[in-house]
């Protein structure tokens, strides 16, 4: 199974006139609301600090609207060097955005030490749809831990919220009762195939299907090529993997994936299901944003065949 690239890729590129996104736009979150696909993307300029921008598509492919100014910027020392790789999940009446906070360890004075960790903020759905960017103050669920790639499930399992996150080289799972304090973090899955030999990580938040939850993830091989793969977890248990696809579903092939700020990269932070089609939004070489698609039945075919045996 392979994703099909949109012929009009890339769908978002840097805008030289906008200092904050003049060099790179990539690694975007996506959510389908109000019959539109809302995209929150990572942009950076010559200073190298990442901020989050907003774009919208009505058909999943072409960009109908794109705001000139960032909708989310660094909030303090912990993310002063960048708000990277946003992921968004709708949980009850709010949208939760997790991102990688790239900054400095507070209180180190002249002996500056850089840090990378997960940050989480949220906003009311109505404010989000009206482009009123009233984000809550971010919090840091794993203080000081070298951690990335947090994706939050949209509901509870046995009374608990569930998060996947990445402490290299594994993907981990953690639990919470209030979406703020997280505990019982354990390894969920690890590198298994050659194309993910060096490390793996979460991609887009999981999508609910008739057979299970679809998680699109990434893998990095020995030569630092980034590829996309997927697995499916049980509907009632996000820690039980019922299928893991052995081959990548997207790998760097086009010029805008092979050449750029970081070459040989396809990397996703967002995917949406529209009708029977999964739209996967991905960064190409850490420089542009693209989209690729597949029918949901293509992801589920190995499970449906197995269940008919």
Total domain count for the chain? 1
- Tens digit of each residue's pLDDT (9 = 90 or more) over 169-196: 999 999 999 999 999 999 999 999 999 9
Residue 253 lies in a domain: yes
Q: Residue 37 is part of a domain; what is its CATH number?
A: 2.115.10.20
Write out the two tokens for 203.
Answer: 């991609």
Phi-psi region of 296 (alpha: psi -120 to 50; beta: other; left: phi over 0): alpha
Q: Is residue 4 part of a domain?
A: no
- Asked whether the beta carbons of 149 and 165 are under 8 A apart, the reply is yes
Please report the pLDDT score of residue 309 as a whole number: 36
Whether 23 is covered by a domain: the verdict is yes
Phi first, then psi: what are they for 257, rounded to 5°? -105, -30
Give φ, ψ of 61 to 5 degrees: -115, -65
Task: Give the pLDDT score at 106.
Answer: 72
SS3 63: coil
The answer to whether residues 18 and 68 touch, using CB atoms and an 8 Å cutoff, is yes
Q: What's residue 303's pLDDT?
A: 78
pTM above 0.85, yes or no: yes
Strands 94-104 and 50-57: what pairing? unpaired
Residue 129: inside a domain, yes or no? yes
| Helix H or strand E encompassing 42 | strand 36-44
Q: What is the pLDDT of residue 136?
A: 97
**Closest C-alpha to 123, from 177, 71, 65:** 71
In a domain, 7, yes or no: no
Structural domain includes residue 238? yes
- 9 within some domain: no
The pLDDT, as a whole number, for residue 304 is 63
**What is the rounded distance in angstroms from the CA atom of residue 257 to the CA atom of residue 266?**
6
Low-confidence ranges of the chain (pLDDT < 70): 107-112, 304-309
Range of the domain at 104: 15-308
Could you tell me if residue 6 is inside a domain?
no
């Amino acid at each position: 199974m392979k994703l099909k690239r949109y012929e009009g890729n890339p769908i978002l590129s840097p805008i030289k006139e906008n200092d904050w996104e003049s060099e790179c736009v990539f690694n975007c979150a996506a959510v389908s609301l109000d019959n539109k696909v809302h995209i929150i993307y990572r942009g950076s300029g010559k200073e190298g600090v990442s901020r989050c921008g907003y774009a919208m598509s009505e058909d999943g492919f072409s960009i109908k609207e794109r705001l000139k100014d960032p909708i989310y910027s660094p909030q303090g020392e912990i993310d002063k060097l960048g708000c990277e790789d946003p992921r968004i999940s709708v949980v009850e009446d709010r949208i939760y955005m997790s991102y990688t906070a790239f900054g400095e360890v507070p209180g180190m004075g002249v002996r500056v030490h850089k840090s990378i960790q997960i940050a989480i903020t949220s906003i009311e759905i109505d404010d989000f749809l009206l482009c009123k960017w009233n984000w809550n103050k971010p919090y840091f669920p794993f203080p000081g831990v070298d951690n990335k790639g947090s994706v939050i499930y949209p509901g509870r399992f046995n009374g608990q919220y569930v998060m996947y996150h990445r402490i290299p080289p594994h993907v981990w799972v953690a639990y919470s009762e209030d979406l703020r304090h997280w505990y019982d973090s354990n390894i969920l899955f690890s590198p298994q195939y050659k194309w993910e030999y060096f490390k793996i990580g979460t991609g887009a938040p999981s999508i609910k299907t008739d057979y299970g939850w679809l998680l699109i993830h990434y893998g990095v091989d020995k030569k630092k090529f980034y590829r996309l793969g997927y697995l499916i977890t049980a509907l009632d248990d996000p820690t039980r993997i019922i299928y893991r696809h052995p081959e990548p579903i997207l790998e760097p092939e086009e010029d805008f994936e092979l050449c750029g700020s970081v070459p040989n990269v396809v990397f996703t932070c967002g995917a949406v299901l529209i009708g029977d089609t999964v739209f996967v939004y991905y960064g190409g070489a850490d420089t542009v944003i693209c989209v690729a698609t597949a029918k949901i039945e293509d992801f589920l075919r190995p499970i449906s065949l197995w269940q008919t045996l």
